[in-house]
A = this chain, B = another copy of it.
């Protein structure tokens, strides 16, 4: 068979997607308690769903026609108004907003537009596992800042200053963070903005979880003084509208960057999904979002607190922080693993096999994730969270 590119040989299959495939398989055989996923558990509002049917009935041809690469003007206007309302940030719908095929495309096309071979991009370790591969696909090099449970997964100003150099092209910052649930300290972001100005690099602020906040406040990076023209903001409708499968998100950036991203996306996906865009106009303009977000956060915070309690009482040697946002506990289980003589990856596999409880090995999120597991608290109801953690406790007792 003819050769493939070196580019693709160096890239790894996303372990989360691999686990998802395993889970799909396992689910057909047994009832899995899943602490593994990353999707909302509240279905989208009825009125929003009804809008899809209405559109297809009222104007089928237009609803399924190509839209512009930037997305339909009405949606960009609705996004602009939404950003003003929730974040008091001002983005021009005509020139500073582009709709994307999910936050994944937002990040990957942003990186493709910024990075030349050898450019460095700073990320925390651990953080979202796709960044590193995306940076490498764009021929950049990921430079990591270690964060750990002791400092609440906050990177420090000193670490950042040490990481920045003339080679720095960007920092990708995710807040609220996946997998740690950490909301970034605003003071860190101020230092970041100052350095971005001094060294002339970009901040890619991934705000996919901006509305999934339980404590403190989301940091709207672009709102900080001097930040806007150094910042590319990545947003997603997956979490705030409950439609991860529809693959819709958006990117906010200075005019010239949006123009470049538009060029890139013309040749990668051509345009975002049409029907989802039309329906989202109603979702945003009729203010269905406010209720959906409020109900989601109310439901999730209960599950978060419950899982926290269960972890403390059943797995007392585990260490974690109470996540201020997002969907996950990132749990340091090294004290258990040492006794078991297992890596967290072996542990996760054995746990799934023996007890049908799914968790994600921490190594997937970076070197510093070793000895940790990611546990989603939004998917399962309290009863099954209890059951799952009891099974983990028994498994650990049995094995040690």
Contact = CB atoms under 8 A, between A and B. Distances in A.
Nearest to A38: B66
A4 B39 contact: no
Interface in A14-66: 14, 17, 20-21, 24, 39, 41, 43-44, 49, 52-53, 56-57, 60-61, 63-66
A82 interface: no
Contacts of A242: 64
A370 interface: no
A254 B3 CA distance: 12
A4 B263 contact: no
Nearest to A100: B269
A4 B257 contact: yes
Interface in A307-360: none
A200 interface: yes
A247 interface: yes
Interface in A100-121: 101-102, 104-105, 108, 112-116, 119
Chain multiplicity (copies)? 2
Nearest to A67: B245
B1 A256 contact: yes
Interface residues of A, number: 82
A43 B68 contact: no
A52 B43 contact: no
Contacts of A276: 273
B4 A267 contact: no
Contact of A267 (B133, B169, B263, B270): B133
A381 interface: no
Contacts of A130: 266-267
Contacts of A262: 13
15 contacts: A5-B114, A8-B112, A11-B267, A14-B267, A41-B61, A43-B64, A52-B52, A64-B246, A65-B244, A104-B268, A108-B267, A108-B268, A137-B267, A246-B273, A247-B272
**What 7 pairs across the A-B complex have the smallest Cβ distances?**
A245-B274, A53-B53, A104-B270, A43-B60, A14-B266, A43-B61, A49-B56
